[in-house]
Structure 1
Amino acid sequence: MIIPDERWWLHACLRLVLLIRIGVLSSVAALGASTICNHIPGLVPPQRILCQQRPDAMLAVGAGAQLALEECQYQFRRERWNCTPTGERGVFGYHLRAATREAAYMHAVTAAGVAHAVAMACIRGNLRGCGCDVAKHGLSSMSGTPDAKFRWGGCSADVNYGLDFSRDFVDQRENTQSARSLMNLHNNEAGRRVLEQTIKLQCRCHGASGSCSLKTCWNSLPSFREVAMALKSRYNKAIQVQAFLAGRKRLPTFLRVKRIQGFRKPQPRQLVFLDHSPSYCEASAVVGNTGTDGRTCRRAKGKARMAHDSCDLLCCGRGYDTREVTVESRCNCTFYWCCKVRCHNCIHRTEVFTCK
């Protein structure tokens, strides 16, 4: 689902693509691309320049940012903070002002989403300057098993191109020396590293009678849901950091893990945050939350009451309202050979619980 007030980005990108296809960025098309890029809100000057130079990639950037937002909303759909856009609007939707673990996840999943979408556009032949990974050719061997030979074939995803483009575009916003910028840059790179880690090696067997004496393999992009889920597990284990100040001006130079002796830096794939998260019970544009008022919850007993979507936790102790709704669904389905399935329409009433 595309959020209505986010369509401006996709509309602008579609206009850019149309300009590209009409004469491959003639002087008139280039002027149009420059005009459109200058009117996209939220872009910093280096991003506008890249937009003008590579307007064909902007549709993939917009699609990646939208995919990241949708996956964020899916991963947090049962929690108090459910990734609903609030706060300052920018090129990737909305910016979370507080430097919390939720902001860490947003930066990581967005950077990974842009890299994923750009690499996918390369595979589909939608971008100039990239396609299949040309480095994947000839004989190779399975990792850790030198006797298991295979030959590169098919179209391997050029994930490095997507990762580099994500760095060139997404990271341009972090051009100030501040603890928040260091945090954002770290989480951006963590998201891209997790994407790189989830690349899959797919193979097809060759040989007499399926002996698989030789395999043809290629690198395949994972579904973005897998990437978002991997980042969600890192969100749950995110660590608090603080900036180390150095130099005469005492400027932030790198992040170190807080409350640990020495100067241990966070691991590259760890998500990091500066500030602890609020309860997210009440709506606040400052922290980037819509509150839980009106959210659907699950009435539970026993240990299930500690689940994120239980009415006890989601409603923050305010209680919940109960209403009955009528639901129509298919039931009593029968398969007839061959090949039909016939079902009845069943109507039943159920209870829905919403937070006060």
Structure 2
Amino acid sequence: VSTCSHSTDLLMFVTLVFTLKSPFCTFLAVVSMAMTPIQRPEMYIIGAQPLCSQLSGLSQGQRKLCQLYQDHMMYIGDGAKTGITECQHQFRQRRWNCSTVDKTSVFGRIMHIGSRETAFTYAISAAGVVNAVSRACREGELSTCGCSRAARPRDLPRDWLWGGCGDNVHYGYRFAREFVDAREREKNYPRGSPEHARTLMNIQNNEAGRQAVYNLANVACKCHGVSGSCSLKTCWLQLADFRRVGEFLKEKYDSAAAMRIGRKGKLELVDKRFNTPTPEDLVYIDPSPDYCLRNETTGSLGTTGRLCNKTSEGMDGCELMCCGRGYDQFKTYKHERCHCKFHWCCYVKCKRCTSLVDQYVCK
């Protein structure tokens, strides 16, 4: 297993978000890199050195893109960090909750397994990059793009204006595809090999993440007129809230397709009774660990000590979360607002109530 240095070099994230040999090193650097804009703004000056030249983890294609689009780099890091945060939210009630036994990384050794969890992390991180770059274009932060130039929707009423400054999801999608997939496409593994299968898996899941952001973008409008009469509307293309993207990809995780490398060197379904995955679907090639017990080899933290819901029959329920080991009960104080009253005009006043509640943790 490869290890990560604690360097905060700006672009170490590149090898994280989408590399096979050392993916968890880069996810760690994404987080630290997302804080760099405040601490080291000089790193974003066009032509600044040694932003790209010192990073041995970049592939040849990524290095060229880095040199050409240095002002994009901080947004790639921000986007990947957004993806990590969303992953941890979506899986907060699952046995695997986007955590790792390696305290210096985010996802850890689990990324070496081509499981459906790895598929989700690739997809949500790619989605985060599209999201961040698209928004940066709209806000005028990037030199090579601006507001969205999307065509006027055919179903938009004729008297509504089209052309407000929208999120440039077209540019965000294209740039993320070129940068994120560059490393995968430059690999030269033997056709049909396990390594080749994993590369194809990564590319598929990267695309699924990008498609989610692209397809969920929608039209937003603002009214104009005297006293809110809305006699005129201006509309533009707007990214969906990233929580919605996370929920969409979580559904794709639940229905991810098990694949294997075929004779023609392409991924094929393990079970031919299922539909062939579309570019929007997640795929995986390895079974997932059960995540019940701590395992340094796979990177599983296990579920000992995790809170569970005694009354739930879902994955957050004590039976499933605790993997049949049982659970301990304890009491704790819960503080919350209560007895709220609206006072004219115009505020709400609440009391603070404390109650003793039961909680349950896995053995």
TM-score of the pair, normalised by structure 2:
0.80
The range that moved more, 56-65 or 341-350, is: 341-350
Q: Which residue in 1 is equivalent to 2:180? A: 170
Give, in whole Å, the separation in 1 of the partners of 2:227 and 2:343.
37
Q: Which residue in 1 is equivalent to 2:270? A: 258
Residue 289 of structure 1 aligns to a residue in which SS? Answer: coil
Shift of 1:220: 0.4
Q: Which residue in 1 is equivalent to 2:19? A: none
Give, in whole Å, the separation in 2 of the partners of 1:5 and 1:172.
19
Aligned 1:199-348 pairs, distance under 5 A: 199-204=217-222, 215-246=233-264, 252=265, 254-260=266-272, 265-300=276-311, 304=312, 306-348=313-355
Residue 199 of structure 2 aligns to a residue in which SS? Answer: helix
The range that moved more, 223-232 or 279-288, is: 279-288
Larger radius of gyration: 1
Distance 1:210 1:353, change over 3 A: closer
Aligned 1:1-356 pairs, distance under 5 A: 7-12=31-36, 14=38, 17-20=41-44, 24-25=45-46, 30-34=48-52, 38=55, 43-85=58-100, 94=108, 96-136=111-151, 141-142=154-155, 150-174=160-184, 175-176=186-187, 177=189, 178-204=196-222, 215-246=233-264, 252=265, 254-260=266-272, 265-300=276-311, 304=312, 306-356=313-363
Shift of 1:34: 3.7
Distance 1:343 1:157, change over 3 A: closer
Q: Over residues 118-161 of structure 1, what are the superposed CA-to-partner deviations in whole Å (9 max), with x where a residue is unaligned?
A: 1011111111111102354xx65217xxx756442211221111
Residue 287 of structure 1 aligns to a residue in which SS? Answer: coil
Distance 1:6 1:329, change over 3 A: same
Read off the aligned partner of 2:162 and give its amino acid letter.
Answer: W
Give, in whole Å, the separation in 2 of the partners of 1:169 and 1:62.
12
Shift of 1:214: 6.7
Give, in whole Å, the separation in 2 of the partners of 1:340 and 1:271.
47
Residue-pair matches, total: 328
Structure 1: stretches of 5+ with no match in the other structure: 247-251
Residue 188 of structure 1 aligns to a residue in which SS? Answer: helix
Q: Over residues 279-311 of structure 1, what are the superposed CA-to-partner deviations in whole Å (9 max), with x where a residue is unaligned?
A: 1111234434211111110112xxx3x211011
Distance 1:293 1:44, change over 3 A: farther
For the aligned residue pairs, the C-alpha RMSD in angstroms reads 3.1
Given that residues 255 and 265 in structure 1 are in contact (C-alpha distance below 8 angstroms), is that contact kept between their aligned partners in structure 2? no
Read off the aligned partner of 2:46 and give its amino acid letter.
Answer: L
Shift of 1:58: 1.3
Residue 141 of structure 1 aligns to a residue in which SS? Answer: coil
Give, in whole Å, the separation in 2 of the partners of 1:11 and 1:330.
34
Give, in whole Å, the separation in 1 of the partners of 2:177 and 2:74.
17
Distance 1:5 1:347, change over 3 A: farther
Shift of 1:74: 0.6
Give, in whole Å, the separation in 1 of the partners of 2:233 and 2:339.
46
Distance 1:242 1:332, change over 3 A: same
Distance 1:281 1:53, change over 3 A: same
Distance 1:68 1:7, change over 3 A: closer
TM-score of the pair, normalised by structure 1:
0.81
Distance 1:212 1:257, change over 3 A: farther
Shift of 1:211: 9.1
Structure 2: stretches of 5+ with no match in the other structure: 1-26, 190-195
Distance 1:58 1:311, change over 3 A: same
Higher strand share: 1
